[in-house]
Amino acid sequence: MLIIFLGVFSQWVAWKFQLPAIVLMSIAGLLVGPVFGITTPQENFGDLFNPLISLAVAIILFEGSLNLNFKEVRGFGKPVYRIVTFGALIAWIGGSLAAHYVAGLSWAVAFVIGGLFIVTGPTVIMPLLRQAKLKARPAAILKWEGVIVDPFGALLALFAFQFVLFANGDETAAAFGLFFLASLFAALLGGAVGWVMGRMFEKGQIPEFLKSPVVLAFVLLTFTISDMIMHETGLLAVTAMGMIMANMHISSINDMRHFKENISVLLISSVFVMLTASLSREVLMEIFNWEIIAFVLAMLFVVRPLSIWISTIGTDLSSREKLLVGWIAPRGIVALTVSGYFASRLMDAGYEDATILTALTFALVFSTVVAHGFTIGWVGRKLDLASSASPGILIIGAGSFTTKLAATLHEMEQKVLLIDSSWGDLQQARLSGVPNHVGEILSEHTEYEVDLNPYESMLVATETDSYNSLVVNNFVPEFGRPNLYQTAIHEGDPADFHSSLSGRTLFGEAWNIHELDHKTELGYTIRSTQLTEQYTYKEYLEKSRDGTIPLLIQRAQGQKKIEFFTSGDKLEPKPGDTVVSLTPTPELRDRHQEKLKAAQGKKDAQSKE
């Protein structure tokens, strides 16, 4: 209970205060483990400790590979391929040299641990990418490297270990060749299971409510079978399984992906706390050895940058992208768990210097997690490879009102993007200089063309109420329901659109998109008014023209955050804030007053008669 609570609580605190979640999870584990001695998971779980962590890593790695659609790297597949092959080889050689000459390890132990330390992995990369909101290209490169290299790092360490035993005469050539056969079998098994599962899903042979549980069961089964044949090949099997399913264009893949994401967040949180809480105080003190510190610095500032810069020569990666990718390489759960396995195996084989592997690994993991966790956002912004500090707004539907609203937000220096499937409807937006995109927001094609990371809120305002609700529900996992807005229901019973099926209603129940477009076409304008200590919001409302519709508030503090007026929520503008409203011109107001007077006169005449 404590492990799960601390893990999830760390994630929430990290989200609340914009801190690296992995750092908080590691610190929480250290506090309840070696620092205060509240719990020791390795003793509590006993023989189940390592199997539980291995199965958790398998699920996390499968969830990461389920996001590896080849369409995502279209146009920059070459640098990704070079980094996960040539770059990984250079990192292996460089890491082995650093382990031998800097950390003082024997060649055999350095060769093994150098292969393991090429891993980054989805357990650490995914939370950092979620936090930093990098642009699509560097984020995709880091994600692909993390997921693909994760199993290969463990396999490289296993290959090196088998080679060391073979060179010493402790292993036969047949046993050494078994490594390659077991790796090939793992890849084929994972690919075959993924393809069969995908075909069964598409043919309707598995009911919808069982799809995610069935996938979860087969992930664990595939991992276990491969790992029983040869240790550490299970990671390769689940990666192959996920990649095959990700590229089969399964209609229900998003539902499974969201299910796996939720599980992964829980598992990452729990496993990091478990691993750090299981460290001993002796290991913590050992990491302050100057040789270990020097090794960590060499990995951070020499091995990683060199492996990226050399491997990407001749690619179209810019120097800024190389600098960012060359800096970000946090190690995670796989390095911690697998290093313990190889430390015991190497000590059994007579390599006494392997005793420091646990301390060496933890020092590298914690140092990279802290260094990269706290700097990824800052470095990304300095290199102009991260989203703007001010969160953006997506507007779906290019009507006359939404085009004017987007233009107003653009003039207020807010990041805004107007999306519509009609080229013609976006003409006015293009003439006004408003950022726009022609495409269907629900299509997979748009997903790869539009980087959604810079946008925090979405306004859906097309003429079809049911479509608006469909878009809102589709993007709940990405934006969260509090950040999804749609215009009021135009036709039918609003009760048919339950709050669980809709976004927050913009501007009030009376103002559907047809009414807003009609008023805009009549000549209503969008007006901005800054409040002061003398001119308060109450006075603003009293002096507003009849027919004025408050739209949003731009806060004066911080990032000048935008808050929309919605049905059922009461905003309280403060001095310094800017109120934006849809307001009739004086001519329209006078005409409206004349109509009201004429109608009242006609009514009075009828009453006299």
Quickly list H helices, 278-303.
281-286, 290-298
pLDDT, mean of residues 586-608: 58
Nearest to 135 by CA among 439, 416, 451: 451
Q: Is the pLDDT of residue 514 over 80?
A: yes
Cβ atoms of 32 and 274 within 8 Å: the answer is: no
The beta strand positions in 429-492, using DSSP E, are 436-438, 455-460, 484-486
The pLDDT score that the predictor gives to residue 96 is 93
Burial class (CB in 10 A: 0-12, 13-18, 19+), 173: exposed
Tell me the two tokens of residue 444.
């997979």
The pLDDT score that the predictor gives to residue 307 is 93
Helix, strand or coil, per DSSP, at residue 436: strand
The dihedral built from the CA positions of residue 319, 323, 326 and 330, taken in this order, carries a sign that is: negative
The pLDDT score that the predictor gives to residue 91 is 92
Q: Could you report the per-residue pLDDT of 331-378, keeping only the tens digit for each?
A: 877 787 778 778 888 888 888 888 888 889 888 988 988 888 888 888
**What class has domain 392-593?**
alpha beta
The pLDDT score that the predictor gives to residue 309 is 93
Confidence of residue 491 (pLDDT cuts 50, 70, 90): low
Give the separation between CA 243 and CA 68, rounded to whole angstroms: 6
- Give the CATH number of domain 2-382: 1.20.1530.20
The pLDDT score that the predictor gives to residue 252 is 65
Mean pLDDT, rounded, of the chain: 82
Give the separation between CA 221 and CA 233, rounded to whole angstroms: 13
Determine if residue 460 is left, alpha or beta; phi over 0 gives left, psi from -120 to 50 gives alpha, anything else beta: beta
Cβ atoms of 418 and 484 within 8 Å: the answer is: no
Lowest mean pLDDT among 24-28, 187-191, 605-609: 605-609
Give the separation between CA 18 and CA 227, rounded to whole angstroms: 38
Helix, strand or coil, per DSSP, at residue 551: strand
The pLDDT score that the predictor gives to residue 255 is 65
Q: Is the pLDDT of residue 419 over 70?
A: yes
Q: What residues does each domain of the chain span?
A: 2-382, 392-593
Burial 273-285 (b: 16+ CB within 10 A, else e): bbbbbbbeeebbe
SS3 of 361-423? HHHHHHHHHHHHHHHHHHHHHHCCCECCCCCEEEEECCCHHHHHHHHHHHHCCCCEEEEECCC
Percent of the chain with pLDDT over 90: 13
Tell me the two tokens of residue 367.
């140092």
Q: Residue with structure tokens 């060391």?
A: 164
Cα 273 → chain centroid: 21
Q: Is the pLDDT of residue 507 over 60?
A: yes
Confidence of residue 500 (pLDDT cuts 50, 70, 90): low
163 to each of 149, 169, 228, 346, 418, how far by Cα in Å? 20, 10, 20, 12, 58
Q: Could you report the per-residue pLDDT of 426-458, keeping only the tens digit for each?
A: 888 888 888 888 888 887 667 667 777 778 889
Per the model's pLDDT, the better-predicted residue between 502 and 367 turns out to be 367
Q: Do domains 2-382 and 392-593 have the same CATH topology?
A: no
Give the separation between CA 276 and CA 25, rounded to whole angstroms: 9
Per the model's pLDDT, the better-predicted residue between 185 and 571 turns out to be 185
Lowest mean pLDDT among 89-93, 168-172, 192-196, 383-387: 168-172
pTM for the model stands at 0.72
Q: Could you report the per-residue pLDDT of 180-210, keeping only the tens digit for each?
A: 888 899 999 999 999 999 888 888 888 878 8
Q: Could you report the per-residue pLDDT of 370-411, keeping only the tens digit for each?
A: 888 888 888 888 888 876 556 788 999 888 888 888 988 888
549-554/562-564 β-pairing: antiparallel
Per the model's pLDDT, the better-predicted residue between 101 and 262 turns out to be 101
Phi then psi dihedrals of residue 422, to 5 deg: -105, 125
Burial class (CB in 10 A: 0-12, 13-18, 19+), 295: buried
Cβ atoms of 521 and 351 within 8 Å: the answer is: no
pLDDT, mean of residues 566-583: 82
Q: How many CA atoms lie within 13 A of 536 on its CB side?
A: 4
